[in-house]
A and B are shown apart, each in its own frame.
Chain A
Amino acid sequence: MTLLQIAFFFLSALALASAILVITRRNAVHSVIWLIVTLFSVGGIFLLLHAEFLFAVQVILYVGGIMVLFLFVVMLVNLDVAVKQAQFSRQWQLALATAIILMAELAYGIYRGHQGFTLAQTSAVPPTIGNTQAVALALYQDYMLPVEIASVLLLVAMVGAVVMAKRKLE
């Protein structure tokens, strides 16, 4: 077993364990913290898959931005009542069945197709441009219009969030 595989299995185990903790913790603050651990582990797997740029985006934007927003909201709203209430809805059998059917279906697909999933061994010579450069070239040449649309989407979301969270609508 190579070092790469050891790192992969360690990060996978960490991601799965903390994902289970996310959906079972009673206190929402604990759930957020465990979700941060999950996102870090998944980011580490991004790094193993040679997606360095997205690893940075994951850490800066997801962990540093979205999760901090979550923490703010969790601490703004009154959770003392919610902690005392029942945590799981009555449909946990349905949830279990849904999750198992979904995973079995996808696992069957992977099992049937995994012979074809060997990694392309094209990188015998190291690529001439780095990952960030490759992503940037694709992003600003082939996907120029989607980038502009995404920026408008973020603007709309920002205005919408301010309007929704305002104390009084006039």
Chain B
Amino acid sequence: MPVDKFTLLESSCVPLPNENVDTDQIIPARFLKATSREGFGENLFRDWRFSPSGEPVKDFVLNQAQYSGQVLLAGKNFGSGSSREHAAWAIADYGFKVVVSSFFADIFRNNALNNGVLPITVTPEFLEKLFLAVAKNNEQKVVVDLEKQELRFNDESCDFEINPYKKDCLLNGFDDIDYLLAKKENIQAFEDKD
């Protein structure tokens, strides 16, 4: 899916320090019955966010008015489990553009990138500092500088890795299929070789 171009982002953060947040928590399987990509944000973290009767759970972070923004701060090993891209769709649809963690599951990372959501891996120490800063000041802003591959807040900064190809895709808003379609002849040649 062609995605929006990603440039510089400055935003406050939503902190979710739980470790090993799996994709069944991000979007439970019973909400995977749709045949379109839209509307998954409504059920993001459904069973943590709402009681079985549908009431908002007061102490869950998405229900706390003091926290908002396009950056989700997440604990270690975010996005493990199922390959469901619905998890990335739910995060994007809710309005997050960036997820920051010290460790991501592989399939989730790919799915996020394919939907214009930037997964940023920082050191555990930096992540802890950022959680503390947000705990102290819920309006704490971070700057995500994709060009420089840098995440900044106050006078702290942390470099992050992204492969040059994916970076180029995000900066320019194009996707893998565009790229692969341009390689049609090479793919044909590979098939003919066998």
| A complexed with B | no
A residues touching B (Cβ–Cβ < 8 Å)? none
Binding site for A on B (CB under 8 A): none
